């Protein structure tokens, strides 16, 4: 293997609706084939369930509160990554790679993400995308053979289109003849437990499945092009989604349905004739993707001052053993659309999930595509006042979805859908305290300005702490107990590199 090429495939709004992840009524043979040749991660977590933010985490190895991509990329609202942040295309350009992106980009500004070849488009014609990839592979092989490549393909599928229930399937007649339309109907889809089984939901999931069917063909065509051009045995392939399905209780939330996502990695194996599928039980994060890419490329790690906490996944590939230090993940969400301000942080262990909701007094905001969906139309009109039953979204009460408390604690062994909040249960005081402390440590390590104590950002008042300012150890200001001369947090809080990565994950 003379060159170490890298191919990053990003699906849009794809949850675990894949047959290699156990879905029973949808078939995804191309993605399954990729899984059979590499490592499938069962516990891979996005930091945020929002497209631009999640992609920025993949590209920078930084959570959104670190890299500035707080919400959806929009030049109108200037939601873009900080100018000083290093990204995968910039770092790999510096390492001598030929970098390119095809399809969806949805991060900015361009100077922070300087792909050498940019073929941005919103096409769902995955055959066209594959042809562009083939062209890139051939050029890398024939006219730029001295440089390895790093190519990202941002598929549009299975994101909703701009109709109320569509996923791009109505345009199937205009797609390349190599693409076969999906044949899923409302009768032959499985509805996950996080959303209600209604006619509108079934209709939308059928369209969603048909869009996944097209995505799967696109992945197959791209991988065939990689094979045909003789580059498969020198290319690391990573397949991932940016966030969970575009339905309530998933997309824009930090519940597992929104952030526990597919991740497949296939290492090149030029010296072997067979490969074997491995399911990894290790808990990994999207902040680990950039360190993995740099490790594989042999490129220098990014500037340590940028406070990356991600780790290379290469040591995890090919093993189904749980390794020490891979038993928790963290996440950070602040915005989706510019009007959707609702900052939340989470820590997730094998058994427990703790959410810290900073703006919990605000209603949980609607993403535009979810508000217009037929599934929400069905749910909001499903009141059965005669029976006294409350409206629910999945198993969660409607009011509990929109009006959330400051903290949420869930026992995932017994409550995988995160319905029963245990924060006020005295039996779990010790667990709650441990997770609070771990999340505090992570927020300090990543210099999160949304670490709040007594209703203020600890980051912004840190200069007053050595002078004697005391912060009560509570998230919100308490107008009934305003004093700060009782129990207070320590005034010698450490920030940044003072907390090691090893300490963080122990």
Question: Which residues are designated catalytic?
Answer: 51
Q: Distance between CA 164 and CA 143 in Å, rounded?
A: 45
How many beta carbons lie within 10 A of that of residue 257, not counting itself?
A: 27
The answer to whether 286 and 47 are in contact (CB under 8 A) is yes
Handedness of CA 408, 342, 249, 352 (dihedral sign): negative
Concatenating the DSSP letter of every residue in 190-238 gives: ---TTS---HHHHHHHHHHHHHHHHHHHHHHHHHHHHHHTT-GGGEEEE
3-state secondary structure of 117: strand
Residue 410: its H or E element: strand 407-411
Q: DSSP secondary structure string, 132-174?
A: HHHHHHHHHHHT-TTS-EEEEEE--TTS--SSSS--SGGGGGG
Per DSSP, the three-state class of 11 is: strand
Name the 3-class secondary structure at 499. coil
Supply 313's token pair. Answer: 């996944």
Pinpoint the alpha helices (H) of 383-498: 398-402, 429-445, 458-461
- Cα-Cα-Cα-Cα torsion 219, 220, 223, 225, nearest 10 degrees, comes to -110
Give the residue from 368, 370, 385, 358 showing the smallest Cα distance to 452.
358
The alpha carbon dihedral of 177, 178, 184, 189 has a sign of: negative
Are 409 and 428 a contacting pair, CB within 8 Å?
yes
Which of 311, 349, 370 has its CA nearest to residue 164? Answer: 370
> What is the C-alpha to C-alpha distance for residues 70 and 49, in angstroms, rounded to an integer?
12
Helix, strand and coil in the chain, % to nearest 5: 35, 15, 50
Q: Which of 316, 340, 268, 9 is nearest to 155 (CA)?
A: 9
> Residue 447, class by beta-carbon neighbours within 10 Å (0-12 exposed, 13-18 middle, 19+ buried)?
middle
Q: What are phi and psi for residue 213, nearest 5 degrees?
A: -60, -40
H/E stretch holding 239 reads: strand 235-241
Per the structure block, which two tokens stand in for 442? 């992570």
The number of CA neighbours under 13 Å toward the Cβ of 55 is 26
């Amino acid at each position: 293997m003379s060159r170490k090429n890298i191919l990053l495939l990003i699906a849009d709004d794809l949850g675990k609706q894949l047959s290699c992840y156990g879905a029973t009524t949808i078939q995804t043979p191309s993605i399954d084939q990729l899984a059979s040749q590499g490592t499938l991660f069962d516990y891979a977590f996005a930091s945020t369930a929002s497209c631009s933010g999640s992609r920025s985490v993949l590209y920078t190895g930084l959570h959104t509160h670190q890299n500035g991509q707080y919400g959806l990329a929009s030049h109108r609202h200037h939601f873009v990554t900080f100018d000083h942040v290093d990204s995968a295309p910039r770092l790999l350009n510096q390492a001598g790679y030929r970098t390119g992106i095809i399809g969806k980009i949805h991060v900015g500004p361009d100077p922070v993400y300087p792909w050498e070849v940019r073929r941005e488009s919103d096409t769902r014609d995955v055959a066209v995308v594959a042809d562009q990839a083939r062209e890139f592979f051939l050029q890398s092989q024939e006219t730029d053979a001295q440089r390895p490549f790093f190519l990202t393909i941002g598929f549009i599928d299975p994101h909703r289109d701009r109709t109320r229930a569509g996923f791009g399937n109505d345009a199937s007649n205009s797609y390349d003849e190599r693409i076969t339309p999906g044949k899923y109907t409302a009768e032959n889809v499985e509805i996950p437990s996080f959303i209600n089984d209604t006619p509108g939901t079934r209709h939308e999931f059928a369209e969603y499945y048909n869009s996944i069917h097209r995505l799967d063909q696109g992945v197959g065509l791209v991988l065939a092009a990689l094979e045909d051009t003789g580059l498969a045995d020198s290319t690391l392939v990573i397949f991932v989604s940016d966030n969970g399905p575009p339905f309530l209780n998933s997309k824009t939330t930090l519940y597992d349905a929104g952030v526990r996502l597919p991740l497949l990695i296939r290492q090149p194996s030029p010296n072997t004739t067979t490969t074997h599928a491995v399911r990894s039980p290790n808990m990994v994060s999207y902040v680990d993707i950039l360190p993995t890419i740099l490790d594989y490329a042999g490129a220098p790690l990014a500037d340590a001052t940028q406070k990356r906490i991600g780790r290379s996944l290469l040591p995890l590939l090919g093993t189904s053993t749980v390794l020490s230090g891979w038993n928790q993940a963290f996440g950070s969400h602040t915005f989706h659309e510019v009007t959707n301000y609702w900052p939340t942080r989470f820590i997730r262990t094998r058994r427990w999930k703790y959410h810290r909701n900073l703006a919990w007094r605000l209603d949980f905001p609607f993403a535009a595509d979810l508000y217009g969906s037929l599934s929400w139309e069905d749910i909001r009109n499903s009141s059965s006042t005669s029976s006294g039953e409350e409206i629910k979204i999945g198993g969660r009460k409607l009011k509990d979805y929109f009006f959330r408390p400051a903290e949420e604690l869930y026992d995932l062994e017994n409550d995988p859908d995160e319905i029963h909040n245990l924060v006020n249960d005295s039996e779990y005081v010790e667990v709650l305290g441990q997770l609070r402390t771990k999340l505090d440590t992570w927020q300090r390590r990543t210099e999160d300005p949304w670490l709040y104590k007594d209703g203020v950002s600890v980051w912004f008042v840190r200069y007053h702490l050595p002078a004697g300012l005391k912060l009560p150890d509570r998230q919100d200001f308490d107008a009934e107990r305003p004093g700060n001369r009782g129990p207070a947090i320590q005034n010698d809080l450490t920030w940044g590199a003072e907390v090691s990565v090893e300490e963080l994950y122990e």
